[in-house]
A and B are shown apart, each in its own frame.
Chain A
Amino acid sequence: MTTITAELNNKKKKVPVKGMMDNVMQQFHSAADHIELHPNIRKILSITNNEIIVNFPVKMDNGEVEIFTGYRVQHNNALGPYKGGLRYHPTVDIDAARALAMWMTWKTSLAGLPYGGGKGGIQLDPSKYSENELERITRRFTFALADNIGPEHDIPAPDVNTNSQTMAWIADTYMSTRPPAERTANQHVVTGKPDGSGGLEGRDRATGYGVFLNIKFWAEKNNETLMGKKFIVQGFGNVGYWASHFLEKEGAKLVAVQDAFGSIRSTNGIKVEDLFNYSKANNGSISGFPEAFDLDNEKFFTTECDICIPAALGNQITKENAPKIKARLIAEGANGPTNVDGEKVLLEKGITIIPDILCNSGGVVGSYFEWLQNRNGELWQLDEVMAKLDKKLRESFNKVYEYSQKEGMDLRTAAYCLAIKRIEKAYIQRGIFP
């Protein structure tokens, strides 16, 4: 277990960080060493700005009142309002929110957005509550957070067990607490809203499209085309599906897929839309797709291919399976799919990794577009959104790629260096009050 220790008022504050967040902190400190980050700024970034815990009552359908605990951690806002998801889960707590808020700070900074990092949620199991109860819980949580969130202060988004409906409730409640003339000017207090309530067209595909674009940019830098390139995808959810959809349109061939139910392979290629339609009709499972063969789950990552897209979960590429990976490029659609030991093996083999904070940043960039759209009272068409995503992600990719070439480092280290440097610059320019 990694422990971040920062000296604050002569007291030591310990922030436990577990699991894959060990990787994030290790990367932070490693990048901070690379750029020789000023010790004072390292101190600031090692700790969160604000941690809000609210206990609030909600009336249940049976007339009883229950008390819930909600969290919001605001890690850093040197670059702009805090930004990050809200999750509803029994294991949400302040430590989890703290670690994930830090992660958001690096991500928004690298993406060149005017945002900081935040995270939060409510400790509950949503399956135990009715839709009406969840609505009341969400609205009361929003009321309890009060001015700790706001369109220019802290902007939540959907996360585990929260969705566009949850965001619509938050927006409505928050707007209702404002003076009448200001209500509609506060719609951008959350992103990830439904299409008809200020949501962004194309938000569903933003992350997957971003993964595809990063792969395309990598190919361009290497004077290659995606035509005929073989790729494998772990996770056929929103990210995996949309990334595959756009890669196929560019002429690449999907040869293996793995989801929670099993793995399939076809060297002739798997038609992405056919597989998507099959999984929809098969309770979300790709297993048994008639135009492919079943594949041993352990052999998925060893499939012959050019591009590997882990788009499901963390800690998938380890020192055990990394030596057997045939792909030349790993595009991290999921958060933290490659652990530190696995990454070492891949880099020694000369395999390029497009790191998660760059590769799957299409989602947070999409959120930024939604926020801008609401803030400026505009409505963007899908083609406009996609073109803007292309431009924004190309800028990020080019910066990371060029920095990695210039400094002779891998893309992940380069990404962290750039993310931290941007925040450092803001602190140097502004100084520390008073």
Chain B
Amino acid sequence: MNPNPFNLCPSCLFSTTCVLTNQKHTVWSCSEYEERKEDSSINIKPTPIQESKKEPEMALV
């Protein structure tokens, strides 16, 4: 079983109030889809490969 079924609803702005469907688990295409701008329920964070180090731009003497 694929652990990551493609589904638009969880990231859609209207996911909680949308009246178009009750089957909000297999929607792969929707004309009303609008990306949620904040508080997205899905959070896949890519892995940073470099630690950010704050360094002075010029050597301090």
Contacts and interface: CB of A to CB of B under 8 A. Distances in A.
B50 A312 contact: no
Residue in B14, B31, B47, B49 with the greatest tally of chain A CB atoms within 10 Å: B31
B32 A100 contact: no
B42 A125 contact: yes
A86 interface: no
A19 B38 CA distance: 27
Secondary structure at chain B's binding surface: helix, strand, loop or mixed?
loop
A240 B27 CA distance: 18
Contact of B27 (A62, A67, A93, A314): A314
How many chain B residues sit at the interface, stated as a range, is 35 or more
Given A18-B2, A93-B4, A125-B11, A240 B44 contact: no
A260 B18 contact: yes
B28 A100 contact: yes
A96 interface: yes
B52 A297 contact: no
A167 interface: no
Interface string B18-48: 1111010111111111111110101110111
How many chain A residues sit at the interface, stated as a range, is 35 or more
Secondary structure at chain A's binding surface: helix, strand, loop or mixed?
loop
B25 to A, nearest CB: 8
A194 interface: no
A33 B37 CA distance: 46
A315 B47 contact: no
B28 to A, nearest CB: 6
A91 B5 CA distance: 7
Given A92-B6, A93-B2, A160-B8, A124 B21 contact: no
Interface string A142-186: 000000000000000000110000000000000000000000000
B40 to A, nearest CB: 6
Interface in A17-33: 18-21
Interface of B: 1-2, 4-8, 10-11, 14, 17-21, 23, 25-38, 40, 42-44, 46-50, 52
Which 4 pairs between the two chains have the least Cβ-Cβ distance? A19-B26, A96-B6, A237-B31, A66-B46
Interface of A: 1, 16, 18-21, 57, 62-68, 89-93, 95-96, 100, 123-128, 160-161, 234-235, 237-240, 258-263, 284, 297, 311-316, 333-336
9 contacts: A19-B26, A19-B27, A90-B43, A125-B42, A238-B31, A260-B19, A260-B32, A263-B19, A315-B26
Given A18-B5, A123-B44, A125-B42, 20 more contacts: A65-B48, A66-B46, A67-B46, A90-B11, A90-B43, A90-B44, A93-B2, A95-B6, A100-B28, A125-B40, A127-B38, A240-B31, A258-B19, A260-B14, A260-B32, A261-B19, A313-B20, A313-B30, A333-B31, A335-B29
